[in-house]
Structure 1
Amino acid sequence: MNSRFGAILTALAAAALFGATTPIAKALLGATSPFMVAGLFYLGSGLGLGIAIVVRRSRTPVGARSHQRVNRDGWPWLIGAIVAGGVAGPALLMLGLSSTPAATSSLLLNLEGVLTAVIAWVVFRENVDVQVFLGMVSIVAAGVVLSWYPGEADMPLGALLIIGACLCWAIDNNLTRKVATNDAMVIACMKGLFAGPVNLAIALMTGTALPAAGTLAVAMLTGLAGYGVSLVLFVVALRHLGAARTGAYFSAAPLFGVALAFVLWPEWPTVAFWVAAVLMAIGIALHIRERHEHAHTHQWLEHTHRHAHDEHHQHEHDFPYSGDKPHTHTHVHPPITHSHAHFPDAHHRHRH
């Protein structure tokens, strides 16, 4: 399987894990507050990934450990992403949910993918063509169909807070793209360890007590999978696809959530579910069929990420290397001009 389809499947897997948290969160909300659930999800993500990082580090040769951290230049971007997506976003969402009907909230949450794409296209100049744009429209339309309840979609003041939350997450997605070549597990762990305590503090200050041990464990394990592993996969997809396309695939999360809900609480899927599934499939198909190719110039670049030797990675090593396996080290890309099909990945962020 080539890297293109591998990256798409990675983004869809991230969406599936995140979407699966929705019905579980719905069940947990009957026992505790939204801020407590968000805090436990994030904390479970941060602690679980932290343990995995410690285990991985213990098995990694000392000389290779420097690659398992975020580069100094990446910290401003990562801190901005954490503040926007891990602190401001959840806070605005919870405040908005307190005064906004559930149907309206579900519709508004579809804006995250749209705003992610708009920021990627307008601010960071990711390329977009008609096919990609129509695919994005189809995917967002699927989310709207899935969450539409006729007669309930009014626009209270709280809706502005939910739109603000979507904007925060869109900013988070685009800022995370700037550090996506760094260790994905470290990035996801740091987000969880920052956002978890903040959300828990808000919950405790508003009078919510910690849930029973069983509920606490379920919430944290769910967070590890749906917020932690999902975010690791999302960052890897960002590395290869860019923010707009990864955000579009991630917009499939509600469909996976509804599908799991049908499994947990068996009933025949509604017509809206099947319409949304068709629209989602059309959108994904349009994206998969994309072929963006033109002559472009790579500027001099030095960075660190996991890679195999291809037309963009033809360099010497100061350590034994057979050349047949992916590996991680600091390497330099000299200037080169050529033409081939590409995505706005870590090596193709040129203007058009």
Structure 2
Amino acid sequence: MRPSHLALAVLVAAVWGVNFTVIEVGLDHFPPLLFSALRFLAAALPAVFFVGRPKVAWKWIVAVGLVLGVAKFGLVFVGMDAGMPAGLSSLVLQIQAVFTAVIAWAALGERPSAVGTVGMLVALAGIGVAAVDEGTSGPLGAFALVVAAAAAWGVSNVLTRKASPPDALNFMVWVSTVPVLPLVGLSLLTEGASRDLAALGALDWQGAGTVLFVAWVSTVFGFGAWGWLLKRHPASRVAPFSLLVPVFGMSSAALFLGEPVTPLRWCAAALLVGGVALTSITPRNRDRSRVRAEGGAPAPAEVGRRTPVPAEEFGR
């Protein structure tokens, strides 16, 4: 990768990591479900008028929109509002890689390798360490909500893999149109119209800025840049940069929110990131077997181009 491309990959990981700190700030201005609805509304409009028609069937857009937008992000925002720290949230959500592997095995028959299985066990150990750390300083209920969000993310990853969207930005913008009304309805039912109206009536520049950041910078710019990189480089070279997300998430939360990073949390981070890295490894002999089954190696001009977006990258 060129230095400028490396810098862009790191920048996207930094944006996705800092996004958790911005969400924490936004939750001081909005109820969590309303905030999530506003995030998707701002991500969809006006971008939906510029990205072109959907490039996958509507059933996949609706399914991913409900599971990723309503379930995953609803649980994350509610969990963080209930006391889950921003930095720890950015870390714990990485367990989605384990959920994705398990669900893909059950639903798609994609059996994990021995190395991948070891990686899942290491990542689960990291979650256990993080739970112990959180149990000494915060509500375990909020921790459980974020773990449930990671499970929902795993389901949406498998759905995305089935959809195989050729354009990450186009897909994410259309997916963003789906959760808005369900999230608004859930907010009215659980958070109350009076609370929602009060938050909107008290809207200031900081509150509006958090919505625009999570919608335009994290979603539109993040997925646009990530998709641009994936069209120019193999996914195996681009995807590992996502492991930097919790590093930036925990660092920005410590810097801007004063969140403590305990030794146990660093241990959990090492186990989780290392486990997810192992889970993501594809054995070379599997690649060679697939090439032989397909009748030869791919043409050089096609290597690194039009690469399907890794499902694990949706939903940052």
TM-score range, shorter chain: 0.5 to 0.7
Contact 1:93 1:161 (8 Å CA) reproduced: yes
Cα distance in 1 for partners of 2:125, 2:170 equals 34
Q: What's the counterpart of residue 115 of structure 1? A: 99
Are 1:179 and 2:163 an aligned pair?
A: yes
Q: Distance in 2 between matches of 1:129 and 1:19?
A: 29
Q: Does 1:212 align with 2:184?
A: no
Paired residue secondary structure (1:119): helix
- Residues of 1 paired with 2:268 and 2:147: CA distance? 22
Q: Quick check: 1:89 aligned with 2:72?
A: yes
Counterpart of 1:218, as a letter, is T
Q: Deviations over 1:176-226 (max 9, x none)?
A: 122334211110101222223432444356221215141223322232222
- Aligned counterparts of 1:28 and 1:96: Cα–Cα separation in 2: 14
CA distance in 2, matches of 1:118, 1:282: 18
1:32 deviates by 1.8
Residue type at the aligned position of 1:263: L
User: In the alignment, which of 30, 33, 36 is matched to residue 31 of structure 2?
Assistant: 33
State, as a whole percentage, how many aligned pairs show the same letter.
21
How many residues are treated as equivalent by the alignment? 289
C-alpha distance in 2 between matches for 1:135 and 1:89: 23
State how 1:11-90 maps to structure 2 within 5 Å: 16-47=14-45, 49-50=47-48, 53=50, 69-71=53-55, 74-90=57-73
1-side partners of 2:23 and 2:59: how far apart? 31
Structure 1 unaligned residues grouped into runs of 5+: 55-67, 301-309, 315-322, 329-342, 347-352
1:111 Cα deviation after fit: 5.0
TM (norm. structure 2) is 0.68
Give the SS at the match of 1:149. helix
Aligned pair in 2 of structure 1 residues 249, 179: CA closer, same or farther (>3 Å)?
A: farther
Q: Note if contact 1:40-1:216 (Cα within 8 Å) is conserved in structure 2.
A: no
Q: Secondary structure at the match of 2:108?
A: coil
Instruction: Specify which of 302, 307, 312 is matched with residue 298 of structure 2.
Output: 312
State whether structure 2 residue 289 is matched by structure 1 residue 295.
yes
**Max Rg structure:** 1
- Secondary structure of the structure 1 residue equivalent to 2:289: strand
Whichever structure has more strand as a proportion of its residues is 1
Measured in 2, the distance between the counterparts of 1:159 and 1:262 equals: 18
Structure with larger RCO (C-alpha < 8 A, sep 6+): 2
Kept after mapping to 2: 8 A contact 1:135/1:286: yes
What is the root-mean-square deviation in Å for CA atoms of aligned residues?
4.6
From 115, 118, 125, the equivalent of 1:134 is 118
- Report the equivalent of 2:134: 149
SS in 2 for 1:123: helix
Q: What corresponds to 1:226 in structure 2?
A: 218
Deviates more, 1:179-188 or 1:162-171: 162-171
How far the C-alpha of 1:172 sits from its partner, in A, is 0.9
Match of 2:249 among 257, 262, 269: 257
Per-residue CA shift, 1:66-111, capped at 9, x if unaligned? xx64445x4322321112111233445566778x7648x9597565
Name the SS of the counterpart of 1:83 in structure 2.
helix
SS in 2 for 1:78: helix
Matched residues in 2 for 1:223 and 1:129: separation?
36
In 2, distance between residues paired with 1:93 and 1:267? 18
Name the CA distance, whole Å, in 2 between partners of 1:111 and 1:142.
9
Richer in helix (by share): 2
Distance 1:256 1:140, change over 3 A: farther
**Residues 238, 219 of structure 1: CA spacing in aligned structure 2 closer, same or farther, 3 A cutoff?**
same
Instruction: Note if contact 1:16-1:253 (Cα within 8 Å) is conserved in structure 2.
Output: yes
